[in-house]
Amino acid sequence: MNQKIYLGIDVGSVSCNVVALSEESRVLAKVYIRTQGDPIQAVKRGLQEIRDQVNEFTVAGVGTTGSGRTLAGILAGADVVKNEITSHALAAVHEVPGVRTVLEIGGQDSKIIILDDGVVVDFAMNTVCAAGTGSFLDQQCGRLGIQIEEFGDLALKSSTKINIAGRCTVFAESDMIHKQQLGAKREDIMRGLCESLVRNYLSNVAKGKNILESIVFQGGVAANKCIKAEFEKALDKKLIIPENFDVMGAIGAALLAREAEVEKSRFKGFDLIETDFQTTAFQCFDCANKCEVIEFKENGAVIARWGDRCNKWSDDPGRQPEK
C-alpha cells in the first residue's frame, strides 16, 4: 500500500536530523547524523536512510529547519522553511499536549520557549557561547576518556559536590583540569559540570522567564540523566522528556509541511542523493555593504544565492558577477 509521508529535516552545526511522519503524524522513521562540517552530505545520507527504512510511500510535503534550513530547503525542494523556535514549539505541543515551557539544548545553542494554550508567547536563545551545549559536553567526554552516552549515568554516581565554573567553556575546562590535579574523582567532576550547565542555562537563557509546568526537556542533551536531575533539583519541578526528544526540530518541520497542505510537493525526489551540489562564495563590491554572497550550485549551475542585503543576487540567481 502506497502511503503519504511528510519529511522533516533539521540541519544544525553538529547534527542533521531527518524524520518521516505518516498522515496521522506518527513517526515512521528517524535519522540522526553528525554534520561533520558537511551539511550537504549529511542531508543526502539522512534522506537515503529514511528511504531505506520506509516502504511504498509518496512524499506529500517537506519542511526544513535549523541553522542550515535555507541550504537544506533548496537542496531537497522544501515546501516549508521555518525557524527553530516555531518547529520545536509545534513538536513539543504535538508530543506533550498542554506543555507550558520547553527547555531545549542542542549541539551549539540552547533555547527556552514559553507557551500559552499551544501558542508561543515568549522565547530566548543562546547562540553566542557554547558553554553547556552538546558540543562542549562531547569535547569534555573525549578529554575524560568516556563516551557521551555514559556521561549521565557516571555523573549520577557522584557522592561529593564539586563546583565547576560554567559561564565560559575556557573557564569551565580550566576549572575541571584544576580539580583533577587536586585529586577529585571523575564522576564528581562530571556532576559538577552538569550542575554548572544547569546554573548557566537558568541564569542566562532562562533569566526572567516564568517557568511553568508542564515542562518539556528536548534536544540531544536531554539524554543526559544527570542534567535532567539537576534541572529538577534547581527548579523543584518535574521535567518531561518526549520519546523523540533528539529529533524534535525535524518533527516540527514535518508537521509544518503537513499543515501546509500543498497540492504537489516541491520535493526533488530521492535521486538528489546522486546529484552534485556545491557551495561557493564571492564578495559584492557594488556598495559599501560589501556583502559576502553564497552561491548554491546543482551539477555546476547556480540555482540559488543568499547573503546579500539588497536581494539583487538572491532574487536573480542567474545574474553574473562582474569580473
The three-point CA angle 306-271-61 to 5° equals 65
All three cell numbers of 251: 518533527
Three-class secondary structure of residue 193 per DSSP = helix
- Given a contact cutoff of 8 angstroms between Cβ atoms, the answer to whether 137 and 190 are in contact is no
Fold of 97-240: Nucleotidyltransferase; domain 5 (3.30.420)
Q: Which pTM value belongs to this model?
A: 0.88
Task: Summarize pLDDT for 34-83 with one digit per residue, the tens.
Answer: 888 889 999 999 999 999 999 888 999 999 999 889 999 999 999 999 99
Q: Can you give the pLDDT at residue 112?
A: 95
Fold of 3-88+249-274: Nucleotidyltransferase; domain 5 (3.30.420)
- Given a contact cutoff of 8 angstroms between Cβ atoms, the answer to whether 302 and 314 are in contact is no
Q: Can you give the pLDDT at residue 131?
A: 52
Q: Can you give the pLDDT at residue 130?
A: 52
Separation in Å, CA 102 to CA 4, 48, 82, 110, 161: 30, 31, 18, 11, 28
Among 36-40, 101-105, 158-162, the range of highest mean pLDDT: 101-105
All three cell numbers of 37: 562540517
Residue with cell 545574474: 319
Higher pLDDT, 159 or 231: 231
Higher pLDDT, 61 or 13: 61
| pLDDT above 70 (res 201) | yes
The torsion angles phi and psi of 101, rounded to 5 degrees, stand at -135, 135
| pLDDT above 60 (res 127) | no
Task: Summarize pLDDT for 233-243 with one digit per residue, the tens.
Answer: 999 999 999 99
Q: Can you give the pLDDT at residue 239?
A: 97
| pLDDT above 90 (res 247) | yes
